[in-house]
């Protein structure tokens, strides 16, 4: 179904906009039309390319990076109640019309989640996330691939989690052999060729209730849990230099977790994270700064009892080297933008 929708995305480095949509669909081929617009909405490129998806395969992500349009095809296999996708990364050169692809899986290993980012300084596409050893297993470690789109070179690496890491991240009260229910959210490049992978715990719990006086009437509650963040600093070699856990517990009901999760950014040589602290129902807006050595400083940016509304950090944006914008909803004033000077 995802292949029948159009996608609009932006390349922050060139300020160009990609409009990607299927111009033709038949039983074994999808022809994707890619229009690239400049800041004045003038058409820079008007190209198309074909993909040949297999059964149960769909279009998941689309990106514009310089002169390349990149998409991710996912093939899903169900095991119990979970969907276990196999990903293929496809990139199309707008200049010469060449299309290339890289499978994010082998016979024994696969990416089970990923995040993508382009580094224009090194002309590298980096895909990183967690990997599994089978269709049913959870995350064994961090997977990454660096792709130079000009020569189609791809360097894969797999960094396994140690038992100590798994115990600290998942908690010592239960015995885990893998990382469970964590997902990659962002990549931040380091100046030495490494990068930082930002991940977050996410889970949905469903409860069905039946009316005591009417057994034919029932209703459903969905609990959305956005919990701890784990930040991994990965060297160019690559190795995990350090990892840090930012503790939070955001649980809401029937709202898709709209006020949960976080906004990530950078300031000078620090990582910056903003999120709502709703664990104790305080609704404080928290500011966390992570230094290059992994040390963390946490502050309350706005106290919940001093603001008559709710902030929505996850749809905020860093708009300059030292400023971030966060939308919020005030009971009295309606929609408000908060500018945070770092």
pTM above 0.75, yes or no: yes
- Using CA atoms, how far residue 6 sits from 59, 61, 106, 216, in Å, is 10, 11, 30, 40
pLDDT for res 83: 57
Q: How confident is the model at residue 221 (pLDDT cuts 50, 70, 90)?
A: very high
Helix (H) / strand (E) containing 170: helix 163-170
Q: DSSP class of residue 139?
A: B
pLDDT for res 239: 96
Q: DSSP class of residue 192?
A: T
Q: How confident is the model at residue 1 (pLDDT cuts 50, 70, 90)?
A: very low
Q: How confident is the model at residue 222 (pLDDT cuts 50, 70, 90)?
A: very high
pLDDT for res 136: 63
For 149, the token pair is 């789109």
pLDDT for res 274: 97
Strand partners for 50: 31
pLDDT for res 176: 81
Average confidence score pLDDT of the chain: 89
Rg (the chain; Cα; Å):
21
> Among the residues of 109-263, which ranges form H helices?
163-170
Residues whose CB falls within 8 Å of the CB of residue 9, separated by 6 or more in sequence, listed in order: 17, 18, 20, 62, 63, 64
Nearest CA to 52 out of 24, 77, 83, 20 is that of 24
Residues whose CB falls within 8 Å of the CB of residue 112, separated by 6 or more in sequence, listed in order: 84, 85, 129, 130, 131, 132, 138, 139
How many Å apart are CA 326 and CA 196, to the nearest integer? 23
Task: Over range 188-217, report the average pLDDT.
Answer: 88
pLDDT for res 54: 64
Helix (H) / strand (E) containing 169: helix 163-170
pLDDT for res 256: 93
How many Å apart are CA 59 and CA 72, to the nearest integer? 6
Q: How confident is the model at residue 217 (pLDDT cuts 50, 70, 90)?
A: confident
pLDDT for res 56: 58
pLDDT for res 337: 95
Question: What tens digit of pLDDT does each residue of 37-56 get?
Answer: 999 999 999 999 988 766 55
Neighbours of 72 (CB within 10 A): 21
Q: Are strands 240-246 and 214-234 parallel, antiparallel or unpaired?
A: antiparallel
Angle at 164 between CA 162 and CA 166, to 5 degrees: 70
How many Å apart are CA 95 and CA 93, to the nearest integer? 5
Question: What tens digit of pLDDT does each residue of 142-170 get?
Answer: 999 999 888 777 889 999 999 999 999 99
What percent of the chain shows pLDDT beyond 90? 63
Query: In a 3-state reduction of DSSP, which class is residue 323?
Result: strand
Query: In a 3-state reduction of DSSP, which class is residue 190?
Result: coil
pLDDT for res 288: 96
| Whether pLDDT at 193 is above 50 | yes
Residues whose CB falls within 8 Å of the CB of residue 116, separated by 6 or more in sequence, listed in order: 61, 63, 70, 72, 89, 125, 126, 127, 187
Question: What tens digit of pLDDT does each residue of 108-124 get?
Answer: 888 989 999 999 888 89
How many Å apart are CA 119 and CA 251, to the nearest integer? 35
SS (H, E, C) 231-251: EEEECCCCCEEEEEEECCCEE
Q: How confident is the model at residue 29 (pLDDT cuts 50, 70, 90)?
A: confident
Question: What tens digit of pLDDT does each residue of 82-112 get?
Answer: 456 788 899 999 999 999 989 898 888 889 8
How many Å apart are CA 228 and CA 290, to the nearest integer? 15
| Whether pLDDT at 81 is above 50 | no
Most confident of 56-70, 124-138, 192-206: 192-206
pLDDT for res 215: 67
Nearest CA to 106 out of 132, 84, 130, 126 is that of 132
pLDDT for res 52: 77
Residues whose CB falls within 8 Å of the CB of residue 67, separated by 6 or more in sequence, listed in order: 93, 94, 95
pLDDT for res 158: 95
Task: Over range 192-201, report the average pLDDT.
Answer: 96
- Decide if 141 contacts 162 (C-beta within 8 A): no
| Whether pLDDT at 175 is above 60 | yes
How many Å apart are CA 184 and CA 229, to the nearest integer? 10
Question: What tens digit of pLDDT does each residue of 236-278 get?
Answer: 999 999 999 999 999 999 999 999 999 999 999 999 999 999 8
């Amino acid at each position: 179904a995802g292949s029948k929708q159009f996608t609009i995305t932006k390349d922050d480095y060139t300020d160009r906009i990609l409009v990607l949509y299927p111009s033709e669909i038949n039983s074994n081929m999808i022809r994707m039309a890619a229009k690239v617009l400049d800041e004045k909405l003038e058409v820079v490129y008007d190209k198309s390319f074909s993909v040949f998806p297999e059964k149960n395969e769909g279009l998941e992500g689309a990106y514009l990076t310089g002169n390349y349009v990149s998409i991710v095809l996912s093939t899903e296999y169900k095991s119990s109640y979970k969907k276990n996708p196999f990903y293929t990364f496809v990139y199309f050169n707008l200049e010469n019309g060449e299309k290339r692809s890289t499978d994010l899986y082998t016979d024994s290993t696969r990416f089970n989640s990923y995040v993508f980012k382009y580094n224009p300084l090194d002309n590298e596409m980096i895909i990183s996330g967690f990997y599994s050893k089978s269709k049913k297993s959870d995350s064994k470690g961090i997977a990454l691939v660096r792709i130079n789109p000009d020569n189609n070179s791809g360097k894969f690496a797999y960094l396994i989690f140690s038992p100590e890491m798994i115990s600290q991240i998942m908690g010592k009260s239960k015995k885990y052999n893998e990382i469970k229910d964590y997902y990659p959210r962002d990549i931040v490049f380091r100046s030495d060729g490494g990068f930082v992978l930002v991940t977050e715990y996410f889970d949905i719990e469903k409860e069905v209730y039946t009316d005591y006086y009417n057994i034919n009437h029932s209703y459903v509650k969905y609990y959305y849990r956005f919990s701890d963040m784990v930040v991994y600093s990965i060297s160019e070699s690559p190795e995990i230099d350090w990892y840090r856990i930012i503790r939070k517990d955001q649980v809401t009901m029937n709202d898709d977790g709209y006020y949960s999760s976080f906004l990530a950014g950078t300031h000078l040589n620090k990582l910056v994270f903003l999120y709502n602290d709703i664990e104790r129902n305080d609704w404080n807006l928290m500011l966390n700064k992570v230094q290059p050595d992994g040390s963390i400083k946490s502050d309350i940016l706005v106290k919940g009892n001093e603001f008559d509304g709710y902030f929505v950090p996850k749809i905020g944006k860093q708009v300059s080297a030292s400023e971030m914008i966060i939308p919020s909803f005030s009971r009295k004033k309606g929609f408000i933008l908060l500018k945070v000077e770092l």
